[in-house]
């Protein structure tokens, strides 16, 4: 237990350094992008005095080091400033749009794990046979195109030619669901509205599957490769010699040792979905944080850009910490190495 605590403390320290580095990098990049945020926000008809007043309010007339100091001071108070795009506090915008993106990414992650890992197990168990070749081909197709390409293909196939799924939004306009958590699948269940839950689930299938396809292919390929290597271990041959059922050998003796390297990549793919969600949300008109991020970038809304990037970076770091802890829990050697190095 102490080794896990040490590992967690170390990962939290690294996470803090990473977040500081990300904030400095994005802050500098946002300031050197061509265009005056104050002029963009006020429009071409604003007077020079109005633009100058807004620049002073945003501290844009001060050196960049001083600007960053103001940003850090406000951030420590939990204040990310006001969005020039929505004229609302950035924290309010994030609280509104983040749950939609997290819900989409979580459902996509469940699809990635629930489909990719079993496909990899099946391909490894029947390696060299038709099922193995078919799964490898499907996996290769999944990783060969970015998520937004699959989003367009799925829209054309299952929303236009075969109108089986809705094409946009999180839920039909005919349903009114009180907001409790911001996660529609959860809020509909809390409201006891099963029809609304089914409608929200039907809306999320296509965008989540488009977002998960690349990760499904990656998880299947990696799981297969690791399990094929594990099948050559002596203890697998011994289990086969004892007459254990092939399904038991695949599920217990081959899959678990192969899960550790697969889990690392799955965690990275899960966190990377936040970045891939930008264009997927645009294709499906999904009202999430990624779509909001695209809008504020195009308008050079500095406060909103910083808030969006920091939230995505924080989520990425949290996912990586969780994956590290899961790997340490599954692999005792990591715990022992952490204890000996401490």
User: What does the pLDDT look like over 231-259, one tens digit per residue?
Assistant: 777 877 787 787 777 777 777 777 777 77
Alpha-carbon gap, residue 306 to 318, rounded angstroms = 18
Residues with Cβ < 8 Å from 187, sequence gap 6 or more? 177, 178, 179, 180, 181
pLDDT at residue 341 tops 50: no
Q: What is the pLDDT at residue 82?
A: 84
Mean pLDDT of 299-323: 85
Q: Which of 38-47, 226-235, 254-263 has the highest mean pLDDT?
A: 226-235
Any bridge partners for residue 89, and if so which? 82
Q: What is the pLDDT at residue 176?
A: 87
Q: Which of 33-42, 77-86, 182-191, 291-300 has the highest mean pLDDT?
A: 182-191
pLDDT at residue 342 tops 60: no
Distances in Å between the Cα of 170 and the Cα atoms of 25, 99, 126, 183, 308 are 34, 12, 39, 10, 21
The larger pLDDT score, comparing residue 325 to residue 156, is at 156
Question: Across the chain, how many H-helices and E-strands are there?
Answer: 15, 0
Q: What does CATH list as the number for 99-292? A: 1.10.3720.10
Let me know: does 84 contact 295? Beta carbons within 8 Å. no
User: What does the pLDDT look like over 135-170, one tens digit per residue?
Assistant: 999 898 888 888 888 899 999 999 888 888 888 889
pLDDT at residue 186 tops 50: yes
pTM: 0.83
Buried (b) or exposed (e) across 224-262, using 16+ Cβ within 10 A?
bbbbbebbeeeebeebeeeeeeeeebbeebbbebbbbeb
Alpha-carbon gap, residue 262 to 266, rounded angstroms = 6
What is the DSSP track for 67-100? HHHHHHHHHHTT---B-TTTSSBHHHHHHHHHHH
Q: How do the domains of the chain map onto residue ranges?
A: 1-85+299-342, 99-292
Least confident of 31-45, 151-165, 172-186, 200-214: 31-45
Query: With pLDDT > 70 as the criterion, what percentage of the chain qualifies?
Result: 95
- Tell how far CA 126 is from the center of its chain: 32
Backbone angles phi, psi at 82, to 5 degrees: -105, 135
């Amino acid at each position: 237990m102490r080794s896990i605590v040490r590992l967690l403390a170390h990962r939290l320290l690294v996470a803090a350094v990473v977040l500081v580095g990300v904030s400095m990098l994005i802050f500098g990049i946002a300031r050197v992008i061509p265009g005056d945020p104050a002029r963009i926000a006020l429009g071409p008809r604003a007077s020079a005095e109005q633009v100058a007043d807004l620049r002073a309010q945003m501290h844009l007339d001060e050196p960049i080091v001083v600007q960053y100091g103001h940003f850090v001071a406000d951030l420590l108070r939990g204040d990310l400033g006001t969005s020039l795009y929505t004229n609302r506090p950035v924290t309010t915008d994030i609280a509104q749009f983040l749950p939609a993106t997290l819900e989409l990414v979580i459902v996509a992650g469940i699809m990635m794990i629930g489909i990719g890992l079993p496909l990899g197990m099946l391909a490894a168990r029947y390696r060299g046979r038709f099922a193995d070749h078919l799964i490898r081909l499907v996996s290769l197709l999944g990783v060969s195109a970015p998520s937004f390409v699959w989003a367009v293909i799925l829209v054309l196939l299952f929303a236009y030619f075969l109108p089986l799924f809705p094409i946009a939004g999180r839920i039909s306009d005919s349903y009114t669901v009180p907001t409790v958590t911001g996660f529609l699948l959860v809020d509909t269940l809390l409201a006891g509205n099963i029809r609304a839950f089914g409608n929200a689930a039907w809306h999320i299938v296509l965008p989540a599957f488009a977002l998960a396809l690349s990760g499904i292919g990656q998880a299947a390929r990696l799981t297969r490769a690791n399990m094929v290597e594990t099948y050559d271990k002596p203890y697998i041959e011994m289990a086969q010699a004892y007459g254990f059922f092939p399904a038991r050998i695949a599920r217990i003796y081959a899959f678990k040792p192969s899960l550790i390297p697969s889990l690392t990549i799955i965690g990275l793919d899960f966190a990377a979905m936040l970045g891939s969600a930008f264009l997927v949300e645009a294709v499906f008109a999904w009202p999430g944080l990624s779509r909001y991020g695209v809008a504020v970038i195009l308008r050079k809304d500095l406060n909103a850009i910083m808030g969006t990037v920091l939230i995505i970076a924080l989520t990425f770091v949290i996912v990586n910490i969780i994956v590290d802890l899961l790997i340490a829990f599954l692999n005792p050697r990591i715990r022992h190495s952490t204890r000996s190095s401490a």
